Amino acid sequence: MDDYVLVTGASRGIGKAIANELANKGYNLYLTCLKHGDDLKSYSAELSAKYEINCIPFVCDIGNYNDVAEMFEQIPRVNVVINNAGIAWLGLLTDMEPHEWDNVIRTNLSSLFNTSKCAVPLMLRQGGGKIINISSVWGQVGASTEVAYSASKGGVNGFTRALAKELAPSNISVNAISCGVIDTDMNRSHLSDDDMEDLRNEIPAGRLGTPEEVAAMVLKVIESPSYMTGQIITLDGGWI
């Protein structure tokens, strides 16, 4: 397969599962992360050897436009962009420092501008492409003590719908997957065992989602008709 997919935030959690799912299906990959560069490089080599694909790692601050533009100077083509990189901040808004707010917004939302601005010209030259944004149900309903995260994911949803309308005439689809509580290191680091158990009891499915389930949904969106665009697809076990 000649298709190349960019997956941001791919060293762990959802991004790592997405990379494995797509490599297994024969997609070539560009993978990014910022803080776990050695892990990313090792994982990229593992995927390349196991699935006989091209898997190229980039240690990149996806929230920094100059870093992303420099990365794209080394990317001759990209068929799909999966904007997965994200961070959370848990606490009262009044306890949050301005630089912490800025960091959440630039990582979770400004990164979509950065990758899309660089990738869309390549997709236009290729005659089409797909952009898939990993969002959250908190972007739809909001979460107490997660104001910045909720705002950033609400922005992701608005970005998705608006860019989809802008790019539909060019055969570029833009969709988002709005995740419920997924069993990842990020959630485990912010939530206590009791919090996690309370969430399980609230979810009609009776459990947390897995990164592999998100990865499976990403693959379905990639393989969906290009006429599907501007959609916020909820994957939350019936929670919201």
130-139 pLDDT per residue, tens: 999 999 999 9
pLDDT of 187 above 80: no
| Average pLDDT over every residue of 193-210 | 90
In this structure, the strands spanning 4-7 and 28-33 are parallel
pLDDT of 189 above 90: no
Tell me the C-alpha distance between 43 and 140, whole Å.
Answer: 33
pLDDT of 144 above 80: yes
Of 115, 101, 108, 97, which is closest to residue 186 (Cα–Cα)?
Answer: 108
pLDDT confidence tier of residue 186, bands split at 50, 70 and 90: confident
| Average pLDDT over every residue of 140-147 | 96
Q: Tell me, what's the pLDDT at 173?
A: 98
pLDDT confidence tier of residue 69, bands split at 50, 70 and 90: very high
Backbone angles phi, psi at 40, to 5 degrees: -65, -45
Q: Tell me, what's the pLDDT at 133?
A: 98
Of 2, 108, 95, 7, which is closest to residue 56 (Cα–Cα)?
Answer: 7
Catalytic residue among 27, 30, 43, 149: 149
Domains and CATH numbers, the chain: 4-235 (3.40.50.720)
pTM of the entire predicted model = 0.96
Residue 149: active-site member: yes
In this structure, the strands spanning 80-83 and 55-59 are unpaired
| Average pLDDT over every residue of 102-116 | 98
pLDDT of 33 above 90: yes
Tell me the C-alpha distance between 218 and 234, whole Å.
Answer: 12
